Chains A and B, each alone.
Chain A
């Protein structure tokens, strides 16, 4: 994944609402909050908007979006992005919220990329949780994570002079093979089959490096790690001709992403089977000022449908407005008739 970790930047902002997650429901929340004059920042671990719609099934048609007999998931995200443009929300991509702290005037949200945002309301629209790298089924791999085993490359320099093993057959595996080969002492790419999911151009470049003797490409699966105290020394490769050992001081497995609830679980919210319990009048969680909408919440009768998430966003926005502007009287208005709403949308 790109976008993430190209140098740490210290970053501070103040806003009305921080939305955790930029899937369809998080995006539409910007619209409903925007109509009520609330400014939003969105934080998402992926490098683009869309959440599961973008990551899991971008080209698949969805048939139950009201008034859209058929729309692709990416088409839906593109439309939502256009719909919320008037509200000029700020996006923080490739970042995960790691800390949520209550302050006198609201909350302070911190991310793993050193972004700090002060806000009055937090909206958790994190779907199935955050997309995190899948851990390959190698016994004892946890002991090497963060010291010898990495699931992403933050700084290429960290891999200079190492005996590097990259595992996988997708774009991440191929891209990092090509990028890290010049720095590595040795580089072995391991994939379970000769076909790749990656861009053909990257595959051809990798094969050229192999033919030049600069990359070793091996078919098979990693079954065992050798080393001690988090310092990797080698891996066992199970190939068609049995087991062999390869010298390795760094291992980079690229096995795709899985959804984990992640740090949301540590924010003191009442959870029911890994979902955040909410009050259905306001979509507020057990913590005042923290709301949860879309797939991540639960309540009696909950349906995990995008269309329900949209409705939840609208109702949540009303309650959020009362927290941010407690003294302002909100008049119920329709976008078809209200000139003040139309002005906010830039169409009046």
Chain B
């Protein structure tokens, strides 16, 4: 289990409990976090679950795989800490993870 915090583009914080093995995107959808669309349902095929990973968490979440990099080309307002939340898998290590939702997905 891990506690995840999503920060909306308006600054609202959403704290959720996430099970190990689930993806960060799935937890956003299950808990109705606004701004995560996940159009393709987690297939790494659309770049509409884009989030910014808080700086201090970047070493833990790691870097995108090539397929995710390809999809990030399509994301809105890309930054060095951009990730697709469907490609971040929850584990105990991620307890306390903070990600920010961009103002738009596409």
Residues of A in contact with B (beta carbons under 8 Å apart): 52, 56-57, 60, 128, 134-135, 137, 168-170, 191-193, 195, 197, 221, 255-256, 258-259
| CB-contact partner of B73 in A56, A128, A170, under 8 A | A170
Q: A56-B45, A256-B47 are in contact. Are A197 and B73 (CB under 8 A)?
A: yes
Contacts of A56 in B (CB 8 A): 39-40, 43, 45-46
Contacts of A191 in B (CB 8 A): 73
Contacts of A255 in B (CB 8 A): 73-74
**Is the Cβ of A57 less than 8 Å from the Cβ of B78?**
no
Could you jot down 21 A-B contacts, CB within 8 Å?
Answer: A56-B39, A56-B43, A56-B45, A56-B46, A57-B40, A57-B41, A57-B43, A57-B45, A134-B106, A135-B106, A137-B104, A168-B73, A170-B70, A170-B73, A193-B73, A197-B73, A256-B47, A256-B73, A256-B74, A258-B48, A258-B106
Question: Which 3 A-B pairs have CB atoms at the shortest separation, nearest pair first?
Answer: A57-B43, A256-B74, A56-B45
Q: A195-B66, A258-B106 are in contact. Are A60 and B43 (CB under 8 A)?
A: yes
Q: A193-B73, A256-B73 are in contact. List 8 more A-B contacts (CB 8 A).
A: A52-B40, A56-B43, A56-B46, A57-B40, A57-B45, A137-B77, A192-B78, A195-B69
Report how many A-B pairs have Cβ atoms within 8 Å: 44
Q: What's the Cα separation between A56 and B71 when bound, in Å?
A: 11
Contact of B76 with A by CB under 8 A: yes
Contacts of B46 in A (CB 8 A): 56, 256, 258
**Is the Cβ of A221 less than 8 Å from the Cβ of B45?**
no
Contacts of B47 in A (CB 8 A): 256
Contacts of B39 in A (CB 8 A): 56, 128, 258-259
Q: What's the Cα separation between A168 and B48 when bound, in Å?
A: 17
Least distance between A189 CB and chain B CB atoms (Å): 13
Least distance between B20 CB and chain A CB atoms (Å): 21
Contacts of B66 in A (CB 8 A): 195
Contacts of A57 in B (CB 8 A): 40-41, 43, 45
B66 nearest in chain A by CB position: A195
Output the residue of B39, B40, B43, B74 with the most chain A CB within 10 A.
B74
Q: What's the Cα separation between A170 and B45 when bound, in Å?
A: 13
Q: What's the Cα separation between A281 and B18 when bound, in Å?
A: 40
Contacts of A170 in B (CB 8 A): 70, 73
| CB-contact partner of A197 in B48, B70, B77, B104, under 8 A | B70
